Structures are given as C-alpha cells and as structure tokens.
Amino acid sequence: MTVTGQGNTGQGNTGPGNTGPGEDDKRREAATVKAAALIEALPWLDRFHGQTVVIKYGGHAMTDEVLRAGFAQDLVFLRYAGLRPVVVHGGGPQVTEHLNRLGIESVFTAGLRVTTEETIDVVRMVLVGKVNKDIVGLINRHGPFAVGLSGEDANLFTAERKLAVVDDEPVDIGLVGEIVATDPGAVRALIADGRIPVVSSVARGAGGDVYNVNADTAAAALAVALGAAKLVVLTDVKGLYRDWPASTEVISQLGATELARLLPALSAGMIPKMEACLTAVRGGVPQAHVLDGRLKHAILLEIFTDSGIGTMVVPQMSDVAPSSTGGVRDD
C-alpha cells in the first residue's frame, strides 16, 4: 500500500498537482510576510480610519500605464480601508501635447504657462474633459467610486489673476490664477456619499473668467478647507534633497520653520510642491508629504508602514515621535 501523506496537503506525494515540503515552506514564508505587512498597517488603519487624505496626482505616475493602474488600486484600497481620499490633478504635459497638435505655441514665463483666451479653452478641455475623465475611469474599474469635478463646479475654487515676477518686476501672463477662496461643500457631499472626488485644477474668477491654477496650490487649498489629515504630493523625485545636486540624501521629515528657510534655495520644480506643503501645515493639516510617484503603490507605503517614504512636513518637529521600528514617524 502506498502512503500519500496526511489529508489533502500533498505532503509526501510529489505527483502531478502536488508540491514537496520545500514548496510548502516557501508558501508559508510568503504568507507570513504578507501577514506581517498587514499587522504593521494595523495602527495606521486605526489612526486614519474616517480621515480625509488629499492627494495631488501628477508626474510620471500619470503617464506610465502600470503606475496609473497602481494609483487607482491605491485609492480604492484607501476607500475600502475606511479612509476618504480626494484627488486633485493637473495635466501640463497633456495640455502642451494638445496645443502642439493645434499649432499653438506653449510659452512659459518664470515657470508659469502664459495663458491666453485661446489657451484657456484648450486647458479647460484637456484637464476637465480628458485627463479628469481618464482618472475617473481608471478608478471606476474597481467600483462606482470616483466622481469628476472641475474647480469651477459649485464655486469650489475662486481665483484672482496672478502675475509672474521677472527680474523683480511683475509680468502679466494672462489667465493664470491664484486661489483666494475655497468652497468645499460639493466635495464634502461626495465624500459623505462614499465617493472619491477627482478635481481638475481650473478655477472661476469673480467676474466670470476661468483661470488656469497650479495643481499643487489647489491641492493644498482643498486640504486646508476640508480639514484633511494629510496632503500627499506625488512627484518624480524621491523627496526633498538635503543639498541637491551635491547630495542625494532625502530629508525624511522637517518642520514648517525649516522648510520656510530652505524654500528660496530650492529648484524651480520643487518650489510649488514644497510651498503647497507649507501652506497645508500652516493651515491646520497635521502632515504633508512629497512622495516619489514613480514607485508603485507609493501612497500605501507612506500611509501604512512604520517608516514611511519620501519627505514629511509637519507644523513643528516636536510633533514627530519615534516609531516602533526605531525610525522617525508621526504617531
């Protein structure tokens, strides 16, 4: 008589459809690692359950198909885990691409897009009608969660004309706006209904004009208005470098005072992102983060692990306490 092992585990039987003890050990080890990850997430699930997290979506994470799919999965995971994610997005590269197709030159002054009447129509069409709907569609592959909004809708964002500064002189760059008021009522209603609001970064003016506004700035303004627990800014770098380009060391956390001191020396691309973080924490948001959106599931790694990733900005460094892993993490 042949002995084939105990029950249906296949132990001792290496025939078709069964695995030996070595494979079984590997499966158990893999399952144990997954269980440890879930246990590590437990205190953060408890901490942020029911809390609003505003995420500025941009950079490579918006263009790479694998990262786009991962971003949508992250948002749905947050929703099922009891958090309340809100997305704010721009779409500069997509706007430039469409303008090129139409034979309209893209002009930038002091890093800001010069926005004419003709250009704002394209900005509005691309951000609201294309990019926003693409993001909503990605998320809704997983369920009826995402609802698209423009900053114009229900007067969510009201803006005034913003001037660029060149050689210490103000320069008119057209329909580029600075947000001066935020009415989050429509977003609150969607959150209360269990939806994931997805907001494009255009705004209305008091006189009826439509303005192109910076998405980092818009995300910070909305995070403050909603009383969010976190602002998360996805970008194409690992975080805020301590001494770029001399060093690639990333500052893991810093207070508002130190960030304000560093701002003037930052690269042009990082200034609006770090200004957004500073605006958020000074406006009452406990934490603001700059994360590398090129890393798949960066949002989950930040929120649900002890060490976190990227750079975290807090109102003051006394708000930061040692984590259980010996690193530093706000708890």
pLDDT block averages, 10 residues each, the chain of length 331: 46 52 78 74 78 94 92 95 96 93 90 91 96 97 96 97 89 95 98 98 94 96 98 92 79 93 86 94 96 92 83 82 39 40
What's the rounded Cα separation, in Å, for the pair 77 and 192? 17
Neighbour-count burial for 215-252, b at 16+ CB within 10 Å, e otherwise? bbbbbbbbbbbbebbbbbbbbebbbbbeeeeeeeebbb
Q: What is the DSSP letter of 250?
A: B
> Looking at residue 18, what is its pLDDT?
58
pLDDT at residue 183, rounded to an integer: 98
Cα separation, 78 vs 41, in Å, equals: 12
**CA distances (Å), 324 to each of 41, 78, 312, 330, in order?**
12, 23, 17, 11
pLDDT of residue 320: 58
Please report the pLDDT score of residue 19 as a whole number: 57
Paired sense of beta strands 112-113 and 311-314, if any? unpaired
The residue type at 202: V
SS3 107: coil
Q: Can you tell me the distance from the alpha carbon of 95 to that of 77, in angstroms, rounded to the nearest whole number? A: 30
Q: Give me 61's structure tokens.
A: 């994470």
Show the tokens assigned to 303.
């929120």
d(CA 155, CA 204): 7
Check residue 269 and give its pLDDT. Answer: 81
The pLDDT, as a whole number, for residue 330 is 46
| Nearest residue to 111 via CA among 162, 179, 150 | 162
Count of C-beta atoms within a 10 Å radius of residue 108:
12
Are the C-beta atoms of 149 and 197 separated by less than 8 Å?
A: yes
